[in-house]
Amino acid sequence: MSLGSSELILNPDGSIYHLNLLPDDIADIIITVGDPDRVHEVSKHFDSVELEKKKREFTTHTGILSGKRITVISTGIGTDNIDIVLNELDALANIDFVTRTINEKKRQLSFIRIGTSGSIQPNLPVDSFLLSSSGVGFDGLLHFYDSGHVRNADLESKLNDYLRWKEQKIYAYATDFDGQLAGNFTSNRIRFGVTATNSGFYGPQGRNLRIATALPDFNARLAGFSYQNHQITNLEMETAGIYGLAKLHGHRAISLSAILANRATGEFSKNGQKTINDLIQFTLEKIISSDFD
């Protein structure tokens, strides 16, 4: 079946609608970052850069690092953008743009997010690195997809039973990292944790500047939950959506965070840029020394 022009939307030059990319523009290893300026902070370490494209908040560089072809792309903020980025990257990998049909032979992408995040545990300090073993999404994205088979039903039901936030119409979904991909990124610098992905930075992360939040104990309730000895460690805005959409499309994903805020102690990093740059270097070194490509 051929995909119609309102569903698979291509620009006049044949590129995909929002990302402005052609199928050959992307590598199988894809680093996602939120901030468009962070794309250059990653690609400046490449030995060569073959492609630089940009549209809206989506900046893409593709190049070679130690013989491995890598794409780095900015997603902007939030899982509304993750929906666009993951669907369009999968289309670039697995749909024939000429016949508008799905390729028989599928290409599997490896997504590695390098993001920033706020800790909700006093013992997860600012400037530390975290790898999310699961994401719990409060943003609703996965509820729009037939996604039960890729979600972590046990974590999801235990968390929702514990929170009892149904009255607020808040029902979390849970998704997991790719354990095999994560195996390439272990180190004594890395903490593992469950990451809460929220639909905003202020109210949805329990911040209140001038307007009251509906759930005043939001972060403390999340921090008090534990599942198989794992706590909810940190808050950000993309991971649970990336994990869910990657799995639904048959791709692999992990999410690494530089912890910039500690909401439990009220601290914010004084060396945020250095911590992000250190996480970028750590990630690239792990990609170089791992056996996937």
Ligand X SMILES: O=P(O)(O)O[C@H]1O[C@H](CO)[C@@H](O)[C@H]1O
Q: Which of 75, 79, 110, 116 binds ligand URA (CB under 6 A)?
A: 116
Q: How many residues would you count in the chain? A: 293
Nearer to ligand X, 62 or 205 (CB): 205
Distance CA(33)–CA(255), nearest Å, equals: 10
- Which lies closer to ligand URA via its Cβ, residue 8 or residue 222? 222
- The answer to whether residue 258 forms part of the interface with ligand URA (CB under 6 A) is no
Chain centroid, CA 113 distance in Å? 5
Task: Give the residue nearest to ligand URA (CB).
Answer: 118
Min separation Cβ 140 and ligand URA, Å: 17
Between CA 177 and CA 188, with CA 183 as vertex, the angle to 5 degrees is 105
Q: Indicate the residue among 133 and 234 with the shorter CB distance to ligand URA.
A: 234
CA 168, distance to chain mean position in Å, is 25
Give me 47's structure tokens: 């030995």
223 binds ligand URA (CB under 6 A): no
Q: Which does 260 bind (CB under 5 to 8 A by kind): ligand X, ligand URA, none?
A: ligand URA
Instruction: Give me the least distance between CB of 81 and ligand URA, in Å please.
Output: 13
- The smaller minimum CB distance to ligand X, of residues 70 and 237, is found at 237
Chain-centre distance for alpha carbon 127: 19
Please choose, out of 6-14, 91-99, 110-118, 129-137, the segment that lies near ligand URA by the rule CB under 6 A. Answer: 110-118
> With CB under 6 A as the contact rule, which of the stretches 62-70, 149-157, 231-239, 284-292 interacts with ligand URA?
231-239
Which helix (H) or strand (E) segment is 88 a member of? Answer: helix 79-94
260 binds ligand URA (CB under 6 A): yes
Q: Distance between alpha carbon 228 and the CA centroid of its chain, in Å? A: 23
Which residues are bridge partners to 197 per DSSP? 137, 236
Provide the binding-site residues for ligand X, judged by CB under 6 A: 33-35, 77, 115-116, 201, 236-238
Long-range contacts of 264-273 (CB under 8 A, 24+ apart): 264/119, 264/120, 264/121, 264/122, 264/219, 264/223, 265/122, 267/125, 267/126, 268/126, 269/126, 269/127, 271/127, 272/116
8 Å CB contact between 192 and 131 = yes
Q: Which is nearer to ligand URA, 49 or 170 (CB)?
A: 170
Bridge partners (DSSP) of residue 193 are: 132
Taking CB under 6 A as the rule, does residue 237 contact ligand URA?
Answer: yes
H or E, element range at 230 = strand 230-236
Six token digits for residue 174: 């849970």
Distance of CA 39 to the CA centre of its chain: 15
Looking at the Cβ atoms of 156 and 236, the one nearer to ligand URA is 236
Member of 205, 219, 233, 255 binding ligand URA (CB under 6 A): 205
Closest distance to ligand URA from the beta carbon of 47 (Å)? 31
Interface ranges with ligand URA (CB under 6 A): 116-118, 201, 205, 235-237, 260-261
